[in-house]
Structures are given as structure tokens and as C-alpha cells.
């Protein structure tokens, strides 16, 4: 692989030229990594709802043409100046937020919100020089979340790359790089449900089901899944969900339904849909005195959260989290080891598989609500 170090690489990438239109397979030029950057050969990537959300560009700032993708596994092809933690051939997961290891957040035991490398959905260029590493005929193609994994090669800041066990199957552990860690960590690291507690999970997509899995691993005895799609209920049982509530079945707020079911409210709730109304319900359904609600879903850019201040005064707690409070470089290798030790099951999250040439099928599956995770094989 080192024969390409320092050179421009031509490869296939699935380019989004405009919002909501099918991705187009193009030959792109990928520049070599600059200081504190690495160039990765992506072997497997998967489609996350966040990719679809920004591809649709209905509630966010449109940035096109762009290469989406942020949940993936691959190997290091070459490293830029100053990179000492990674070498060509290392097995890695690129991650949409990073760890500079120098700022106050990185030095804190409580935060993973790195000042330098925190998530930035509007930025389409590299941090170091404000330029893209992708181009077609000399014209820049923009990055997405600093990862852009819908390309056979990509350039990523070294702080957004987790080096993992080379024995871990990349076609499975690639899902740890976003959705599964986001949901699982929201439960085990942030909500922290006590043994025997009751947990409500709003939104039963891959992130919500990972949150349910985390609640089960924490010892919750009742896990109530809340979703407007009843087709998701049967599958959710595999992830520890014990009861189901469809808000559209009731003519009163779902938080009232949940309070009635649980003698005053659930002990913990985790909101994974991004819907503002679901966020309010998730907060208002937790028990006064000790209830904790955790927000995970990404809202519309103009969204507003409204609730009565008394809901706080009666000792309910509202928290938010990005990426399950995991520090990407420091913590994610241990999550991969949980899978290797059979303490975390990933296969049940993977419902579909397509070759890279058919990546638009992955979008179709997700838009129809048929898939949790679709693995995209880059060699196809």
C-alpha cells in the first residue's frame, strides 16, 4: 500500500450532486494526507439515518456536491506529517467526532466534546487548511462529518480515527463507528439505569434498539419501546424491549400513557428519533424525584424544546449526549473488544448488504423503513 503514499489516488466514490437525488458513482481524485491527517482505504461502510437526513437537506444547511458516509471500517493507506499513533496497514474505524487529547474536553473525564474535532455538519473541508481532499477535474467535492466514507479512499484527521483489533471483522464492527455506540453508550454511560428499573426508548431504529440493548445490559427489568411504526415492535423484542406503545393509538399525550403504565413515570427515558414532540414526551414521562431523560436524536435546525419549568423543579433531570459519551480514540477500541468477547451482539443490527455499485439500494431500504443497517461492500 505504501507505493501510493504521497501521491494522488484515483478511485470510485458515490457523489451526491444535489439534495435528494440518487448518488452517482464517479472517479474522484483523493489528495495525500497533510499534517495530522491519514488516508484510509475503506473496506466496508454502512448507511446511517444521519446520512439520509443531510442528503435530503430538508432541515439542515445544504452543502453539495458532497461525499456522504460516516459509519465504516478500513485500513490506513498512508499518514501525514506528525502522525505517530497510526501506521499503514492498521485496522481502523473513522469516527464523525474526534479527540485532540489536548483541550479541556479531552482532558475531562466527563466530556467527549473535543473543542477541535467536535461534530460539524456544515463544514465540507479539512480543518487544517480549509480545503477539500476530494476533486473531480480540479473542482472540489465536499467532505461530510470529516469522514466521507462513501469513497474507496478518504482523508480523515488523525483524531477521528480509532485503531482497533486487527482480528475484528470490519464488516461487523464498522457499525460501532456511529449508530450502535451512540445508542448503547446513551444507555450505559449517560442514562445509567439501575438494576430492576423501567426504561422507555423513543424511536426504534438502529440507535434506539442499541439503547434498548444497553438498558438490558444495565439490568433494566422493563424496557418500553415507543414508535409510530408498529412493524418495528416484533423485531425490537430481540433487543430487550418488553412492551410497546404507539402514540398514534391514543388520544392523549404519550407521556400520560407511560406514567399510567408505570405508576407515575419511568425511571429513565432515551429519545432517539430527533422529533421535538418525542423529546418533550421523553422528558415529561420520567418519574418525578429521580427520573432521568436522555436526548440522542438530532433535531431540525429550527427546533424548539418547550416544557413547563415545574417539570424540572420536581426533580426530573434532562441530559443530552453525542456519541454515547464515548471518546473516539480512547474508548471505542474497548467497545470492539466487547464484541470480540461476545458481550455485545452486532449481527442482529445488520439487516441488509449491497455492493458499493448498488449503494442507492441502501437508501431505498432505509427510506422504506425496511433496514436497520445495510452494509456496503466497497469491492463490489
Kindly report whether the peptide bond that precedes residue 65 is cis, defined as omega within 30 degrees of 0: yes
Integer Cα distance of 105 and 357 in angstroms: 40
β-pairing verdict for 37-46 and 71-79 = antiparallel
Q: From the candidates 114, 174, 285, 374, give the one annotated as an active-site residue.
A: 114
**Selection from 205, 204, 255 nearest residue 226 by Cα:** 204
Distances (CA, A) of 360 to 122, 143, 317, 335: 23, 19, 41, 30
Side by side, which strands form the sheet with 134-136?
9-15, 24-30, 134-136, 139-141
Q: Is residue 100 among the annotated active site residues?
A: yes
Other CB atoms within 10 Å distance of the CB of residue 250? 11
Establish how many alpha carbons lie within 13 A of residue 150's alpha carbon, considering only the half-sphere containing its beta carbon: 31
Q: Is residue 154 among the annotated active site residues?
A: no
Q: Is residue 66 among the annotated active site residues?
A: no
Q: From the candidates 100, 272, 329, 374, give the one annotated as an active-site residue.
A: 100
Q: Is residue 114 among the annotated active site residues?
A: yes
Q: From the candidates 66, 77, 106, 213, give the one annotated as an active-site residue.
A: 106
Q: From the candidates 37, 71, 152, 284, give the one annotated as an active-site residue.
A: 71
Q: Is residue 71 among the annotated active site residues?
A: yes
CA 23 to chain centre: 21
Phi, psi angle pair for 105, to nearest 5°: -65, -45
Q: From the candidates 26, 29, 103, 123, give the one annotated as an active-site residue.
A: 103
Q: From the candidates 39, 70, 91, 232, give the one annotated as an active-site residue.
A: 70
In three-state secondary structure terms, 286 is strand
Q: From the candidates 39, 105, 118, 352, give the one annotated as an active-site residue.
A: 118
Q: From the candidates 45, 48, 147, 262, give the one annotated as an active-site residue.
A: 48
Q: Is residue 70 among the annotated active site residues?
A: yes
Q: Is residue 272 among the annotated active site residues?
A: no
**DSSP 8-state symbol, 174:** G
Q: Is residue 48 among the annotated active site residues?
A: yes
* Catalytic residue annotation: 48-50, 70-71, 100, 103, 106, 114, 118, 178, 373
Amino acid at each position: 500500500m505504501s507505493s501510493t503514499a504521497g501521491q494522488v489516488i484515483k478511485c470510485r466514490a458515490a457523489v451526491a450532486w444535489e439534495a435528494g437525488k440518487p448518488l452517482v458513482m464517479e472517479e474522484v481524485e483523493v489528495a495525500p494526507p497533510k499534517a495530522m491527517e491519514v488516508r484510509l482505504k475503506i473496506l466496508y461502510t454502512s448507511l446511517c439515518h444521519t446520512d439520509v437526513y443531510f442528503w435530503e437537506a430538508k432541515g439542515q444547511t445544504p452543502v453539495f456536491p458532497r461525499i456522504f458516509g460516516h459509519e465504516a471500517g478500513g485500513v490506513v493507506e498512508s499518514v501525514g506529517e506528525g502522525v505517530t499513533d497510526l501506521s499503514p496497514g492498521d485496522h481502523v474505524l473513522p469516527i464523525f467526532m474526534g479527540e485532540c487529547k489536548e483541550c479541556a474536553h479531552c482532558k475531562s473525564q466527563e466530556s467527549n466534546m473535543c473543542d477541535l474535532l467536535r461534530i460539524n455538519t456544515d463544514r465540507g473541508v479539512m480543518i487544517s487548511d480549509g480545503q477539500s481532499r476530494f476533486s473531480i477535474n480540479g473542482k472540489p467535492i465536499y467532505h461530510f462529518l470529516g469522514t466521507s466514507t462513501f469513497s474507496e479512499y478518504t482523508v480523515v484527521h488523525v483524531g477521528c480515527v480509532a485503531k482497533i483489533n486487527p482480528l475484528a471483522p470490519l464488516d461487523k464492527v464498522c457499525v460501532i463507528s456511529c449508530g450502535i455506540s451512540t445508542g448503547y453508550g446513551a444507555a450505559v454511560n449517560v442514562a445509567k439505569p439501575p438494576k430492576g428499573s423501567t426504561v422507555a426508548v423513543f424511536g426504534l431504529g438502529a440507535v434506539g434498539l442499541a439503547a434498548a440493548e444497553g438498558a438490558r445490559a444495565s439490568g433494566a427489568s422493563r424496557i418500553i419501546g415507543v414508535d409510530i411504526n408498529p412493524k418495528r415492535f416484533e423485531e425490537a423484542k430481540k433487543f430487550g424491549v418488553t412492551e410497546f406503545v404507539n402514540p398514534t393509538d391514543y388520544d392523549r399525550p404519550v407521556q400520560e400513557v407511560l406514567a399510567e403504565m408505570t405508576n407515575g413515570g419511568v425511571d429513565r427515558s432515551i429519545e432517539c428519533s430527533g422529533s421535538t414532540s418525542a423529546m418533550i414526551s421523553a422528558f415529561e414521562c420520567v418519574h418525578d424525584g429521580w427520573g432521568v431523560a436522555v436526548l440522542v436524536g438530532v433535531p431540525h435546525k429550527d427546533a424548539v424544546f418547550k416544557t413547563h419549568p415545574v417539570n424540572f423543579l420536581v426533580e426530573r433531570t434532562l441530559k443530552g449526549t453525542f456519541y454515547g459519551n464515548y471518546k473516539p480514540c480512547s474508548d471505542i477500541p474497548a467497545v470492539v473488544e466487547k464484541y470480540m468477547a461476545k458481550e455485545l451482539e452486532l449481527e442482529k443490527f445488520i439487516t441488509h448488504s449491497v455492493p458499493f455499485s448498488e449503494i442507492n439500494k441502501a437508501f431505498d431500504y432505509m427510506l422504506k423503513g425496511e433496514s436497520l443497517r445495510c452494509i456496503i461492500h466497497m469491492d463490489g
